[in-house]
């Protein structure tokens, strides 16, 4: 056990813990369960963690291999205790309550993502709590009524809220910087163009957009010469998008409908959907793909931008609802890459192309986080309190860590009927 400096001055002199003897010597007066957690953390295979304990002492664990070097300041012992009983929900709730902070929350969360086995030991959640969370998730399933309620919970916070920190395109999905775009708005338009190119959308094509958000893609595709029918079940988004299309002079070419995708009966040359599938819910994946097949003309293509979770993590993820499903997207569920292939094939669709860009999403989220922070003084008067601010900060950090570590991914995929 020796003294070691960290990158942050507040952790100067942190004691490096390498095993049970070090923990016993350094953690006198610490609750027994916390000592057990520290012992587990000494074996972190990737990266390291500097911990400022509530009494002001600092320790450092891990450092056994390359990986994120994270720091956390504990104001009490709630974080480690709630991580054990509540998993990611417990970690998030203690952050919202102000029980802990970090100079870099994204790196702190990334550390536990890349150390999956140790993270499961520490943040697995109790069996009873996991069962209760799954029951809550079941009540949030995406029936027609449930879908509108779940979408409203996130997107109907108010157009003014999102307008304060999204870019000028009002796009709430990953941008694509890989094309050489340097600013967020340009990278969002590059994403739109990539989907148009990969899907083969041409002037004169009739395009169905499932989940149109605030109308950014519908406007872009309309200006490119496509005829667009765009669906949303968010009243706030519908009203904004409809006004946007009229102001762009595209009223004869683009139609914004307040309609569930399951009620669509038309036939289209192309289908587009950007980060809507995550809100469908696993129970309704076959319904979604069947509707795509039904509404797509023979030989037509469907291009979708979808967030995925890696195949190895998917079985556990689907059993254990996480922070995002509890607080941000009720009823949501990420598919794995193999599920996207399987669900399409079962509906009679061929999976013909994919474009992956997870680091672009990490960059998008970092940009959103900075913009959200900078806009907070204008956002707060809209009726949002400090707990809400910390929830959204954690959400953006949490997602950025997932994409940075590539535990989750974002891809544009193309199917052919």
Residues in the chain: 417
Mark whether 183 and 247 lie in a shared domain. yes
Mark whether 173 and 312 lie in a shared domain. yes
Mark whether 103 and 148 lie in a shared domain. no
Mark whether 105 and 252 lie in a shared domain. no
Q: Which single residue is written with the structure tokens 């009873």?
A: 128
Helix/strand/coil for 173: coil
Residue after which a domain boundary falls, among 125, 152, 179: 125
CA pseudo-torsion sign 286, 287, 292, 294: positive
Burial grade of 55 (CB within 10 A; 0-12, 13-18, 19 or more): exposed
Question: Do residues 278 and 329 make contact, with C-beta atoms less than 8 angstroms apart?
Answer: yes
Tally of domains in the chain: 2
Mark whether 10 and 48 lie in a shared domain. yes
Mark whether 83 and 208 lie in a shared domain. no
Asked if residue 139 belongs to a domain, the reply is no
Mark whether 104 and 250 lie in a shared domain. no
Mark whether 278 and 382 lie in a shared domain. yes
Mark whether 121 and 148 lie in a shared domain. no
Encoding tokens for residue 133? 């969370």
First-last CA distance in the chain:
63
Mark whether 219 and 337 lie in a shared domain. yes
Residue after which a domain boundary falls, among 98, 125, 152: 125
Asked if residue 165 belongs to a domain, the reply is yes
Mark whether 23 and 104 lie in a shared domain. yes
State the residue range of the domain holding 93. Answer: 3-125
Q: Would you give per-residue pLDDT tens digits along the chain (417 residues)?
A: 333 333 344 687 788 888 888 888 887 888 888 988 888 888 888 999 999 999 999 999 998 899 999 999 999 999 999 988 888 889 999 999 999 999 999 999 999 888 875 555 444 444 443 434 444 444 445 455 544 444 444 445 789 999 999 999 999 999 999 888 889 999 999 999 999 999 999 999 999 999 999 999 999 999 999 999 999 999 999 999 999 999 999 999 999 999 999 999 999 999 999 999 999 999 999 999 999 999 999 999 999 999 999 999 999 888 877 888 888 887 789 999 999 999 999 999 999 999 999 999 999 999 999 999 999 999 999 989 999 999 999 999 999 999 999 999 999 999 999
Asked if residue 135 belongs to a domain, the reply is no
Asked if residue 131 belongs to a domain, the reply is no
Of the candidates 86, 89, 88, the one whose C-alpha atom is nearest the C-alpha of residue 129 is: 86
Helix/strand/coil for 308: strand
pTM for the model: 0.89
Q: Which residues pair with 301 in a beta bridge?
A: 270, 416
Query: What does the alpha-carbon distance between residue 54 and residue 177 come to, in Å, rounded to a whole number?
Result: 41
Residue 12 CA neighbour count, 13 Å, CB half: 2
Asked if residue 375 belongs to a domain, the reply is yes
Encoding tokens for residue 151? 């979408």
Q: 406: phi > 0 → left, psi -120 to 50 → alpha, else beta; which?
A: left
Mark whether 300 and 159 lie in a shared domain. yes
Q: Which residues pair with 228 in a beta bridge?
A: 207, 254
> Which CATH number covers residue 266?
3.40.50.150
């Amino acid at each position: 056990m020796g003294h070691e400096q960290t990158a942050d001055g507040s952790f100067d002199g942190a004691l490096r813990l390498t095993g049970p003897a070090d923990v016993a010597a350094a953690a006198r007066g610490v609750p027994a369960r916390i000592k057990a957690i520290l012992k587990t953390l000494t074996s972190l295979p990737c990266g390291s963690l500097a911990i400022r304990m509530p009494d002001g002492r600092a320790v450092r664990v891990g450092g056994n291999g390359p990986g994120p070097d994270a720091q956390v300041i504990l104001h009490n012992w709630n974080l480690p205790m709630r991580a054990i009983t509540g998993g990611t929900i417990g970690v998030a709730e203690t952050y919202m309550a102000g029980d802990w902070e970090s100079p870099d929350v994204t790196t702190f969360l990334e550390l536990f993502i890349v150390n999956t086995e140790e993270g499961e030991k520490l943040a697995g959640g109790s069996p009873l709590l996991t069962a209760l969370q799954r029951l809550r998730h079941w009540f949030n399933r995406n029936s027609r009524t449930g879908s509108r309620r779940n979408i409203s919970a996130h997107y109907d916070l108010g157009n003014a809220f999102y307008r304060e920190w999204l870019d000028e395109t009002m796009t709430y999905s990953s941008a694509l910087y890989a094309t050489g775009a340097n600013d967020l708005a340009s990278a969002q338009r590059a994403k739109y163009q990539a989907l148009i190119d990969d899907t083969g959308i041409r002037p004169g094509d009739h395009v169905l957009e499932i989940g149109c958000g605030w109308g950014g893609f519908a406007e872009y595709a309309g200006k490119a010469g496509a005829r667009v029918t765009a669906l949303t079940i968010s009243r706030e988004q519908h009203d904004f998008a409809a006004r946007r299309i009229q102001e762009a002079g595209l009223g004869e070419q683009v139609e914004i409908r307040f309609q569930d995708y399951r009620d669509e009966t038309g036939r289209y040359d192309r289908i587009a959907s950007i980060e809507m599938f995550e809100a469908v819910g696993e129970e309704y994946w076959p319904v979604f793909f069947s509707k795509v097949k039904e509404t797509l003309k023979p030989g037509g293509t469907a291009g979708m931008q979808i967030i995925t979770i890696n195949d190895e993590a998917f079985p556990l993820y689907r059993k254990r609802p996480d922070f995002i499903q509890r607080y941000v997207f009720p009823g949501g569920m990420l598919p794995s890459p193999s599920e996207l292939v399987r669900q399409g094939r079962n509906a009679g669709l061929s999976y013909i192309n994919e474009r992956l860009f997870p680091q672009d999403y990490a960059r998008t989220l970092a940009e959103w986080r900075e913009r959200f922070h900078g806009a907070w003084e204008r956002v707060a008067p809209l009726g949002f309190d400090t707990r809400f601010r910390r929830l959204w900060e954690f959400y953006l950090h949490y997602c950025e860590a997932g994409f940075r570590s590539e535990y989750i991914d974002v891809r544009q995929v193309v199917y052919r009927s």
